[in-house]
Amino acid sequence: MTSEPQQFASDNYSGICPEAWAAMEEANHGHAPAYGDDLWTARASDAFRTLFETDCEVFFAFNGTAANSLALASLCQSYHSVICSDAAHVETDECGAPEFFSNGSKLLVAPSEGGKLTPEAIRAVATARSDIHFPKARVVTVTQPTETGQVYELDELRAISAVCRELGLNLHMDGARFANACASLGCSPADMTWRAGVDVLCFGGTKNGMAAGEAILFFNRKLAEDFDYRCKQAGQLASKMRFLSAPWVGMLESGAWLRNAGHGNACARRLQQQIAGLPGLEVMFPVQANAVFVRMVEQRMAALRDRGWRFYTFIGGGARFMFAWDAEPQRVDQLAADLRQIASVAATFIQPRA
Ligand SMILES: *Cc1c(COP(=O)(O)O)cnc(C)c1O
């Protein structure tokens, strides 16, 4: 089967990176105990503990929706609430799974600039009501990097966790692209999580170059009580667990997790640099991870689609481009060239929308 030209509509259009694939293949020799009682799962868990420089509890789930939902459910009771940004994946793209798996814990949405929560916004939501008729705030969830490709600086995370501690809130991090944030800031995973006050992290493997799988890391081990039962009940306990854990060994021990992310980030910057300042195109958010969002009139988007490009517009109405571990720089340049052409040609006859 011939493959189609690369698209940048989503980072999960990509395939499996060689390091993850090799570990899967190595795991595919002979038999091993089921349900996580195998050596690959122990080794992957230890690789996380080494990378994060702490003795955290580690669990594996099939995807990010389950990881986020089960993690959040473990941080609160059904009568509690979870504060998130208005652009958060848990709010906009998980079909109510966090509420479902927590038996009704309500998401409280805070207004945000491109998906970034602030201590002030958290405080305002958490303290707006304290009466018995409203679900009690118990958790804050941040997405690192945000759905718009922005990265929280360490100082910003520390300020958020300080408010959380003051108000008695647990702090969860949706790290579906956690590696991209680490590559962007060049800081250690420990500094970005438990040293900054994060209690639980969902670390995304799928968008980082695996076939499937997310890891849930509890830095506050008390919060992990009975989490294994929660995963099983939710249908997230893999019987052949080694095929969910082995790729993590490949990713973490080889350093591919960070290389892959660094490459995606570099491709995003490569596109941004080539289209910056073009007439009629606006890069909507600071490019700090592997995403570039471009605002343009509908006719230009149609012209871009005519040239064969696929992209989504569900965040903020602009065209979203996401770069994965395998993004081809020449293909990025082709996209930039098409955008340049569309900007120059169309500007002469496309009327701005009234
Ligand atoms: C992709 C993504 C997830 C996980 O999505 P699944 O499709 O359930 O794996 C979670 N959070 C964010 C911010 C994402 O981009």
Q: Work out the average pLDDT over 138-152.
A: 98
> Ligand 1 centre from 200 Cα, in Å?
16
Residues 297 and 166 in one domain: no
pLDDT of residue 354: 41
pLDDT above 90: residue 345: no
pLDDT of 346 higher than 80: no
Give the CATH number, domain containing residue 150. 3.40.640.10
Pocket test for ligand 1, best of 93, 107, 202 (most atoms within 8 A of CB): 93
- How far is CA 144 from its chain centroid? 6
Closest C-alpha to ligand 1, atom 3: 64
Take residue 290 and report the two structure tokens written for it.
Answer: 């592997």
Residues 176 and 308 in one domain: no
Of 10, 11, 65, best ligand 1 pocket probe by most atoms within 8 Å of the beta carbon = 65
Cα of 16 from ligand 1 centre, angstroms: 17
As a whole number, mean pLDDT of residues 39-45 equals 98
Residue 10 counted as domain residue: no
Task: Give a yes or no: residue 267 inside a domain.
Answer: yes
Overall average pLDDT of the 315-324 stretch? 95
Flag whether pLDDT at 228 surpasses 70: yes
Token pair of 41, please? 């799962």
pLDDT of residue 38: 98
Pair 335, 193 in one domain: no
Q: Whose CA is nearest to atom 1 of ligand 1?
A: 176
Share of the chain above pLDDT 70, in %: 97
Q: How far apart are CA 62 and CA 202, in angstroms?
A: 12
Instruction: Compute the average pLDDT of residues 53-68.
Output: 98
Residue 8 lies in a domain: no
The verdict on 204 and 336 lying in the same domain is no
pLDDT score recorded for residue 232: 98
Residue type, 264: G
Mean pLDDT of 48-69: 98
The rounded mean pLDDT for the chain is: 96
Predicted confidence at residue 350, as pLDDT, reads 57
Of the candidates 245, 224, 289, 343, the residue with the CA atom closest to the CA atom of residue 41: 245
Same domain for 251 and 235: yes
Question: Do 139 and 249 belong together in one domain?
Answer: yes
Do 145 and 109 fall into the same domain?
Answer: yes
Q: Is the pLDDT of residue 351 over 60?
A: no
Give the end of a domain, one of 228, 255, 282. 255
Please name the residue that has the structure tokens 């090799």. Answer: 22
- Does a structural domain hold residue 351? no
Residue 114 domain flag: yes
Q: Do both 140 and 286 map to the same domain?
A: no
pLDDT at residue number 353: 45
Distance from Cα 76 to the centre of ligand 1, integer Å? 21
Report CA(243)–ligand 1 centroid distance (Å): 20
Confidence of residue 56 (pLDDT cuts 50, 70, 90): very high
Residue type present at position 166: E
Q: pLDDT value at position 113?
A: 85
Task: Please state, as a whole number, how many other Cβ atoms lie within 10 Å of the Cβ of residue 181.
Answer: 27
Boundaries of domain holding 30: 17-255
Look at residue 327 in the predicted model and tell me its pLDDT.
98
Ligand 1 atom 2: residue of nearest CA: 176
CATH number of the domain that residue 289 is part of? 3.90.1150.10
> What is the predicted pLDDT for the residue at 348?
55
Verify that 282 and 176 share a domain, yes or no: no
How far is the centre of ligand 1, averaged over its atoms, from the C-alpha of 64 (Å)? 5
Ligand 1 atom index nearest CA of 66: 8
Structural domain contains residue 90: yes
Final residue before a domain boundary, out of 220, 255, 290:
255
- Same domain? For 207 and 334 the reply is no
The tens digit of pLDDT for each residue in 203-227 reads: 999 999 999 999 999 999 999 999 9
Best mutation site among 90, 174, 178 for ligand 1, i.e. most ligand atoms within 8 A of its Cβ?
174
Quick one: 161 and 266 in the same domain? no
Residue 254 confidence (pLDDT): 98
Q: Whose CA is nearest to atom 15 of ligand 1?
A: 176
What is the per-residue pLDDT across 239-284, written as a single tens digit (0 to 9) for each? 999 999 999 999 999 999 999 999 999 999 999 999 999 999 999 9
Atom 4 of ligand 1: nearest residue by CA position: 64
* 221 and 124 belong to one structural domain: yes
- Region of 249 please: left (phi>0), alpha (psi -120 to 50) or beta: alpha
Given this model, what pLDDT does residue 349 score? 62
Name residues contacting ligand 1 (CB within 6 A): 63-65, 68, 89, 143, 147, 174, 176, 206-207
Mean pLDDT over residues 317-342, rounded? 97
The DSSP H or E segment spanning 60 is strand 57-61
pLDDT above 90: percentage of residues in the chain: 94
| pLDDT tens track for 183-203 | 999 999 999 999 999 999 999
How many structural domains comprise the chain? Answer: 2
Instruction: Give the pLDDT mean for 145-163.
Output: 98
Q: How close is the Cα of 352 to the center of ligand 1, in Å?
A: 34
For 151, half-sphere exposure in the C-beta direction (CA atoms, 13 angstrom radius) is 20
Ligand 1 closest atom vs CA 207: 1
Which residue, of 234, 255, 276, is where some domain finishes? 255
Would residue 354 count as lying in a domain? Answer: no
Q: Is 3 a member of any domain?
A: no
Once rounded to an integer, what is the mean pLDDT over residues 311-322? 95
